[in-house]
Amino acid sequence: LFCPCLIYGAYIFLPFDAPLLPTISARLVYTLRCAAFATFPIVLGMIISGISRLCSSALEPFGELHQEVEIHRTYVSQSIHLFILYFFNMAVLATYLQQELLKLIPLLTGLFAISRLIFWISYAIGRSFRAFGFSMTFLPLLAMLLWNLYSMFILEPHNLLS
């Protein structure tokens, strides 16, 4: 319930609009540029993971990892997988949205970045707290997937492959 309220509030109250994007290729480039900001938590996780691996007391670099190193490595791995799914769904979503709704693309990108950071912090605190951050990432992804499938098969089945 938190994610739709957050997206709706940001959509209504943030004072920006998406640029005029009449073609599919312009919408995909816009989505690609927005998605570059979603990689920030992943790159930050890679940096912190490398630093924690260098600072760990492990003498064997390919041996068993300590918990503080394993947390960052797992975060980066999961974030990369979720980013790929998120990006492809946003790219498809951008092709089906109307011009006035294209403001959702940067908002969804921001939600992804913030939710991954919340997941990372809560995962480092304790594994039982990570459900909130994961659901903030996964549920919008699931909603985008369902909307994309609905748009492809129900709204525009004649344009499915064109």
On whether residue 94 sits in a domain, the answer given is yes
pLDDT over 90, % of the chain = 38
Predicted confidence (pLDDT) at residue 58 exceeds the cutoff of 60: no
Residue 18 CB partners (closer than 8 Å, separation 6+)? 30, 99, 102, 103, 105, 106
pLDDT at 43: 94
The CATH number for 134's domain is 1.20.120
Is residue 65 in a domain? yes
83 found inside a domain: yes
CB-count burial class (<10 Å; 0-12, 13-18, 19+) for 8: exposed
- 70 domain residue, yes or no: yes
Domain count, the chain: 1
- In a domain, residue 118? The reply is yes
> Is 161 or 62 the better-scoring residue by pLDDT?
161
User: pLDDT by residue (tens digit) across 104-131?
Assistant: 899 999 999 999 999 988 888 877 778 8
Asked if pLDDT for residue 62 goes beyond 70, the answer is no
- Domain range spanning residue 43? 1-6+23-160
The pTM for the full model equals: 0.84
pLDDT at site 2: 76
Residue 127 belongs to a domain = yes
